[in-house]
Amino acid sequence: MSTKPIDILLVEDSPEDVELTTLALQENAPSRLNVVENGENAVLYLRKQGDYIHSATPDIIILDINLPRKNGFEVLKEIKNDPQLDKTSVIIFTGADLTEEVLKKNGLLREQVIRKAGDYSDLAQAVNKIALQPSCQNQEEDTLSSVPKPGLKILVVEDNHDDVELLKEILFIKEKYEWRLQHVVRLSEALTRLNEEVFDAVILDLTLPDSRGLDTIKKVREHKSKVPIVVTTGVRDEETGIEAVRNGAQDYLIKGQISADLFIRSVQYAIERANLEHVREELIGYVNHELNNPLTVIMEGISQVADGILGEVNEKQKQFLGKALLHIKRLVRITDDLLDSTMLEFGKVALKKDTFDIVDLGKNALESFRSLAAKKNLDICFNSEQKKLDVYADKDRIQQVFFNLLNNALKYTEKGLIELTIKDKGPVVECAVSDSGNGIKEEDRVRIFRKFERLDPSKLNNAKGAGLGLFICHELVKLHSGNIWVKSKMGEGSQFIFTLPKEKPL
């Protein structure tokens, strides 16, 4: 047993747990126990800041998860991100039952987590084990990295057995990676497996017995929004690979051209890319939340002042307040669109479907643009042979599609007519927003539905936008199992058409 007393930092807010831990550790190797009662103080202690300038550098940190002023995971993140601290052994000591997913997300090994139970003998044993390691005595070695890292765990979804055998051979050649492949043939089996186990990446064929094409990626995403996906495509089908990446896959490989190095690089790249996407998703959610709430408060305040609710306002003041409101509304729209497009991209928009009259919805949407059209001297009209047409869809989301298309029609048209037409087409309803603007060239008609794609704004009267509106329309219509496309004649105008199923699917 080690003779050097070890320094332990216990981060624990419950006095009762502090007492029990102290008692449990008394039976152990000689140790000095220091206690802090919240996450912020733990970080100060470890960095020797504030009241803790003279604190001892701990050999072991025993960290509770449910802590005030910074939870255990946040403290852990700070430890891992600090090169001075990232070698310190951490034991997570918690009442919670942490899932594999939580462990993985926080870079923890199962053996680092001890459940609070009984006489705390498990904790004492874990501390003893670390205290006996040579690294704890001379602090030169990396205690965490001395635990061998297991190879990646990959789920291969492929119905061609020859292709699977080839992958296995490839990895056999590179056996030092110790990757573990699990193989399933059908998408349904893959979804079940993904629910049951944590995989580092999925290798996904897009022609499976029970699913074909890009929808296959969406279905995997709906199940596991963050798992990295590498799609495999046929030799003459590179286009599909590129489309797959646009639709949520992280990378693609062309069958027949897969070498060991390429395969390993692609999977590692996919994992890195998925991590980055996750960070971006969180950042957009955070920024949106931090911007949107204050913007709504500012908008409300300015509206009240402009409406004279808080006292008389002269014309000049009204004019300035009106301009400010316009800019704020635009900002709110951009932050909403950013969040919506990110949520759609990550398959996180849940539809609230019900039966409603789309003729009524369309008419009302068009009416809300009437005054704007009048300001631009544009005619605006609604056409439908039916007085009422029921669809089964998410009313708010379809209203959003109408608004985006009508908004574009007005934005990109300088003279003439804007029309909204709704037609009964048997099992589906067809809605079309037409304008008499400049039109869209044939080669641009697919790309404008992609994220952040905008045509040359100088040719479109410098109309402002972020290039998200059509992407959102496309994703929302697809989510409803509908279609959306554009017809256009240069110099004459454009027509954006989308379909929606009328009936609830069986």
CB of 447 to ligand ADP, least distance (A): 9
Among 42, 460, 476, 500, binds ligand ADP (CB under 6 A): 460
Cβ proximity to ligand ADP: between 353 and 454 the closer is 454
Under the binding rule (CB under 6 A), the answer on residue 494 touching ligand ADP is yes
Under the binding rule (CB under 6 A), the answer on residue 200 touching ligand ADP is no
CB of 248 to ligand ADP, least distance (A): 19
For residues 89 and 130, the answer to whether their CB atoms sit within 8 Å is yes
The torsion angles phi and psi of 468, rounded to 5 degrees, stand at -110, -20
Query: Which residues neighbour 203 within 8 Å (Cβ) at sequence distance 6 or greater?
Result: 154, 155, 156, 157, 158, 167, 230, 232, 253, 267
CB of 323 to ligand ADP, least distance (A): 20
CB of 473 to ligand ADP, least distance (A): 8
Under the binding rule (CB under 6 A), the answer on residue 467 touching ligand ADP is yes
CA distances from 464 to 288, 334, 374, 435, 436 (A): 20, 11, 20, 18, 19
Query: Which residues neighbour 65 within 8 Å (Cβ) at sequence distance 6 or greater?
Result: 71, 72, 73, 92, 94, 96, 98
DSSP state of 482: -
Among 435, 476, 498, 499, binds ligand ADP (CB under 6 A): 435
Under the binding rule (CB under 6 A), the answer on residue 495 touching ligand ADP is no
Among 39, 248, 362, 437, binds ligand ADP (CB under 6 A): 437
The torsion angles phi and psi of 8, rounded to 5 degrees, stand at -120, 135
167 by Cβ neighbours in 10 Å (0-12 / 13-18 / 19+) ranks as buried
CB of 417 to ligand ADP, least distance (A): 13
Residue least distant from ligand ADP (Cβ):
465
- How far is residue 436's CA from residue 381's CA, in Å, rounded to a whole number? 13
Under the binding rule (CB under 6 A), the answer on residue 448 touching ligand ADP is yes
CB of 327 to ligand ADP, least distance (A): 16
One-letter amino acid for residue 380 of the chain: I
CB of 383 to ligand ADP, least distance (A): 18
- How far is residue 160's CA from residue 185's CA, in Å, rounded to a whole number? 8
Chain centroid offset of residue 468 CA? 16
Query: Which residues neighbour 264 within 8 Å (Cβ) at sequence distance 6 or greater?
Result: 174, 177
Cβ proximity to ligand ADP: between 184 and 343 the closer is 343
Among 80, 153, 454, 487, binds ligand ADP (CB under 6 A): 454
Query: Which residues neighbour 216 within 8 Å (Cβ) at sequence distance 6 or greater?
Result: 187, 204, 206, 208
3-state SS, one letter per residue, for 180-249? EEEEECCHHHHHHHHHHCCCCEEEEECEECCEECCHHHHHHHHHCCCCCEEEEECCCCHHHHHHHHHCCC
- How far is residue 422's CA from residue 431's CA, in Å, rounded to a whole number? 4
Among 44, 85, 455, 497, binds ligand ADP (CB under 6 A): 455
Cβ proximity to ligand ADP: between 146 and 383 the closer is 383
Cβ proximity to ligand ADP: between 211 and 413 the closer is 413
What is the token pair recorded at 203? 């290798």
What is the token pair recorded at 64? 């509770």
Under the binding rule (CB under 6 A), the answer on residue 466 touching ligand ADP is yes
Q: Mask: binding to ligand ADP, 80-99, rule CB under 6 A, as x and -?
A: --------------------
CB of 106 to ligand ADP, least distance (A): 38
CB of 67 to ligand ADP, least distance (A): 44
Chain centroid offset of residue 486 CA? 29
CB of 470 to ligand ADP, least distance (A): 3
Stretch that binds ligand ADP, among 25-33, 138-146, 154-162, 435-443 (CB under 6 A): 435-443
Query: Which residues neighbour 324 within 8 Å (Cβ) at sequence distance 6 or greater?
Result: 302
Under the binding rule (CB under 6 A), the answer on residue 487 touching ligand ADP is no
Among 191, 343, 440, 477, binds ligand ADP (CB under 6 A): 440
Among 131, 470, 484, 500, binds ligand ADP (CB under 6 A): 470
Under the binding rule (CB under 6 A), the answer on residue 468 touching ligand ADP is yes
- How far is residue 352's CA from residue 387's CA, in Å, rounded to a whole number? 24
Under the binding rule (CB under 6 A), the answer on residue 31 touching ligand ADP is no
Q: What part of residues 332-361 is at the interface with ligand ADP (CB under 6 A)?
A: none
- Burial call 37-46: b when 16+ CB within 10 Å, e when fewer: bbbbbbbbbb
Q: What part of residues 392-421 is at the interface with ligand ADP (CB under 6 A)?
A: 404, 408-409, 412
One-letter amino acid for residue 222 of the chain: E
Cβ proximity to ligand ADP: between 170 and 433 the closer is 433
Cβ proximity to ligand ADP: between 85 and 328 the closer is 328
What is the token pair recorded at 486? 């554009």
Cβ proximity to ligand ADP: between 75 and 406 the closer is 406
Where on the chain is the footprint of ligand ADP (CB under 6 A)?
Answer: 404, 408-409, 412, 435, 437, 440, 448, 453-455, 460, 465-471, 494
